[in-house]
Structure 1
Amino acid sequence: MKRIFHERRQAFLASCLKYSRYVLNDHFVLVLLVLLGFLSLQYRQLLENFPQPVWPVYLLLLAVSILLFFAGSAATYLEEPDQHFLLTKEGEILELIQQAIRRQFVLWGLVQSLGQLLFLPLYLKLGLPVWGFGLYLLVLTAGKYSLIQAKWSSYTKNGIFQWGLAIDRERKRQQSILQFFALFTRVKGITSSVKRRSYLDGLLKMVAKRSEKTWDYLYLRAFLRSGDFWGLTIRLFTLSLVALLTIDLAWLAVGLVLLFDYLLLFQLLALYGVYDYQYLNYLYPIEQTRRTKGFLRVLRGILYSVLGIQSILALFLLEEKMYLGILILGGFILNQFYLAIKAKKLID
């Protein structure tokens, strides 16, 4: 059993390492360095000009503590067939899960401690002594251990191991990691979910019910009901708005917004193949060229809608209107020219 799960762990870590080179490319590393320098400068200014009243600092530390406290989950590497083929080895499986839980406590306990140490100057500014910070860190560590044990106890009910629950949690853990890598490149092994959002059905009525608009309707419907594309768009769009609202440096805020728009465009290109599994679409009495045109119309509609809201917000937030022009021009180049180039390569 140890060898089987060790091979699974090594295979998953190898795939993550393979995808990480697409994440840590030259451009993204450069953006991260700039962002790190900006955050360091803001942190220093915060310490030198401590706000009065101090309740925003308390809220910041509370939010950080909550995020670090609940972060992390045990990597069990259980798979769907295990509940049938490894049922006779349940005792060994439970021992391996206990080892995974101990690794989780060590890893995420260390992450929590290091994360809190980054904010030690703020705690000291608030008047907390070093021994008080150490005691607070000890309480958080003990609380995290109790939380991890509580999660482990939920795997068993009336002395019976809940295979389905443990497998589902491991699947969600791996999917969350793969979905992060999917922001930067194509990733194998991601499962998608479909959910009808009735409150968005009105948008489908905007597409004329004509044969030349068939693919427009299908792609818009897939976008609105897909758990991946819709959720990804909302997350990246929200991050772009947060960048505009929270970053004072106009050039950095606009640069991050354009970066998020680029990531959104890159990921939405996968929408083109969402119906490839359905071979009946090749029987439609519609030229395949209309599929490409419908795909580009839907994608540009989404991207220009996002750009429009960002531009309206930037109009009120950016003092230097030159950067508003850069945002609009950069978005236009991405949506009009870069999208056409990438779509042609994808379809060819």
Structure 2
Amino acid sequence: MFNPEIFFKQRLTDHMKEMNRYLRYIFNQHLLIAMLFLISGLAFYYQQWLETLAPDFPAALLIGAVFGLLVSYSPVRTLLKEADLVFLLPLEPKLHRYFKLTIGYSFFTQLYMIIVAAAALAPLFFAANLGDGFTAYLLVIAVMLIFKLWNLHMNWWMLKVRNANIRRIEQTCRVVLNVGCFWFFLRGDLIIAGVLTVLFVALLLADFSISRKQGGLAWDLLIEKDQARMQAFYRIANQFADVPHLKTKVHKLQAVVNLFTRRVKFEQKYTYDYLFRVTFVRGGDYFGLFLRLTILSGVIIYFIPNLWVQLAFALLFLYLTLFQLIGMWKHHRTIAWMDLYPVAEGTRKRALLSLLQQLAIIQAVLLSLVFLLQADVLGFVLALAAGIAFGFVFVRMYVPKRLK
């Protein structure tokens, strides 16, 4: 006889084994040291910034927006697999308990985001005098937990609706109400916060009513959402280890491809140069990763007042970017055609090193321009020189050993 609790435990055990299999590669010593340095630096300057906090700074809006977006993002991890569309469909009436357990699992696994955000924003809450001590902040956290649970159930109910437009409208309304509730609650406007909470509860009841009218579970949508989240995790893990389950996602971006490939000569020895450049732009998330880390590091550098710490952060993000782009070496590992290319064996390695070297220079130039925005000519020169030198040493000395 089918037991939903035993089935959930089996799925959860398999899921945790799969996650732990790659987490030990992701949180390696290099990344932990980099994260420790980054968090320590940010915490130091965050504390300095709080000491000079202006009285008119919109702290309530900032904290309310973060908390509202945080509770709005409440995906339900159903732990479903593609074959379940066939084999579990006849058991749908017996899976009610199973999905309740997955909602509970999703709630507890997402608590770390609430804990991290609450710990990070607590100094700002107290510096802006938004409440009467620690008890008031605990009340805010308790409200967050309630809204998180509500959002999880609402998200689950809307997964039964196949119309994507209805889901998008509902999600937009939910985000606005979440942010508004926390914003006015932190400001002390309890009447407006109460009205928005009533509207939120009305939306919750409407979602429940809509879900009750659906014929059954949208199995294909549930599996698609769950698989998409696992693929996102695999893409991150693929930067640190070989992930055979990763499904390559291709992006068009033809204009960017032309920008990176137009100078590659149409000759046999440049076969891999062309391939790796197209892979960087269109394959996986390499190009997006490069943009995100460059923008994030530029913003951090801009707001840090100390020159030497700025340079340290520039080199840190340059290291993080290049380290993760090494994953392009294994991107085409399942394609046998590459072994049949009539090109010299060393051209593949040379092509990757050449691309990484150029990307290091591009990022070093972009980050050094941040110093020019601050009219810091010395910082511009030092950042450019240090970035290019670090990129050369990393690509020419560390990457070859990593490829072996």
> What TM-score comes out, normalization by structure 1 length?
0.83
In structure 2, how many angstroms separate the alpha carbons of the residues matched to 1:22 and 1:279? 26
The within-5 A match list for 1:191-230 is: 191-203=247-259, 204-230=261-287
Q: 1:144 aligns with which of 143, 148, 155?
A: 148
Structure 1 residue 103 corresponds to structure 2 residue 160: no
Would the aligned equivalents of 2:34 and 2:316 in 1 still touch at CA under 8 Å?
Answer: no
Q: 1:170 aligns with which of 226, 233, 245?
A: 226
Structure 1 residue 289 corresponds to structure 2 residue 346: yes
Structure 1 residue 280 corresponds to structure 2 residue 337: yes
Q: 1:305 aligns with which of 327, 350, 362?
A: 362
Question: SS state of the match for residue 209, structure 1?
Answer: coil
Structure 1 residues 10 and 259: CA distance shift in structure 2, 3 A = farther
User: What does residue 320 of structure 2 align with?
Assistant: 263
Would the aligned equivalents of 1:109 and 1:144 in 2 still touch at CA under 8 Å?
Answer: no
Structure 1 residue 11 corresponds to structure 2 residue 29: no
User: What does residue 82 of structure 1 align with?
Assistant: 84
Cα drift, residue 258 of structure 1: 1.9
Structure 2 residues not aligned, in runs of 5+: 162-213
Structure 1 residue 344 corresponds to structure 2 residue 400: yes
Structure 1 residues 11 and 267: CA distance shift in structure 2, 3 A = same
Cα drift, residue 172 of structure 1: 2.1
Cα drift, residue 221 of structure 1: 1.3
Cα drift, residue 311 of structure 1: 2.2
In structure 2, how many angstroms separate the alpha carbons of the residues matched to 1:197 and 1:230? 10
In structure 2, how many angstroms separate the alpha carbons of the residues matched to 1:79 and 1:144? 26
State the superposition RMSD in angstroms: 3.2
Structure 1 residues not aligned, in runs of 5+: none
Q: 1:156 aligns with which of 147, 157, 160?
A: 160
In structure 1, how many angstroms separate the alpha carbons of the residues matched to 2:228 and 2:140? 31
Aligned residues: 346
Would the aligned equivalents of 1:250 and 1:323 in 2 still touch at CA under 8 Å?
Answer: no
Q: Which amino acid aligns with 1:9?
A: L
Cα drift, residue 188 of structure 1: 4.7
Would the aligned equivalents of 2:253 and 2:281 in 1 still touch at CA under 8 Å?
Answer: yes
Structure 1 residues 328 and 188: CA distance shift in structure 2, 3 A = farther
Cα drift, residue 346 of structure 1: 5.4
Q: Which amino acid aligns with 2:56?
A: P
Q: Which amino acid aligns with 1:50?
A: L
Sequence identity (%): 24
Structure 1 residue 69 corresponds to structure 2 residue 71: yes
In structure 1, how many angstroms separate the alpha carbons of the residues matched to 2:122 and 2:338? 60
The within-5 A match list for 1:174-193 is: 174-193=230-249
Structure 1 residues 121 and 301: CA distance shift in structure 2, 3 A = closer
Would the aligned equivalents of 1:265 and 1:303 in 2 still touch at CA under 8 Å?
Answer: yes
Question: SS state of the match for residue 346, structure 2?
Answer: helix
Structure 1 residues 284 and 110: CA distance shift in structure 2, 3 A = closer
> What TM-score comes out, normalization by structure 2 length?
0.73
Structure 1 residues 255 and 4: CA distance shift in structure 2, 3 A = farther
Would the aligned equivalents of 1:47 and 1:122 in 2 still touch at CA under 8 Å?
Answer: yes
Question: SS state of the match for residue 257, structure 1?
Answer: helix
Would the aligned equivalents of 1:244 and 1:317 in 2 still touch at CA under 8 Å?
Answer: no
For residues 100-135 of structure 1, the C-alpha deviation after alignment (integer angstroms, 9 at most, x for no partner) is: 113333554675367336534544534444676566
User: What does residue 207 of structure 2 align with?
Assistant: none
Cα drift, residue 240 of structure 1: 1.9
In structure 2, how many angstroms separate the alpha carbons of the residues matched to 1:113 and 1:259? 26
Q: Return 150-159 or 41-50, whichever deviates more.
A: 41-50
Question: SS state of the match for residue 315, structure 2?
Answer: helix
Would the aligned equivalents of 1:258 and 1:331 in 2 still touch at CA under 8 Å?
Answer: no
In structure 2, how many angstroms separate the alpha carbons of the residues matched to 1:101 and 1:92? 16
Structure 1 residue 325 corresponds to structure 2 residue 382: yes
Cα drift, residue 278 of structure 1: 3.1
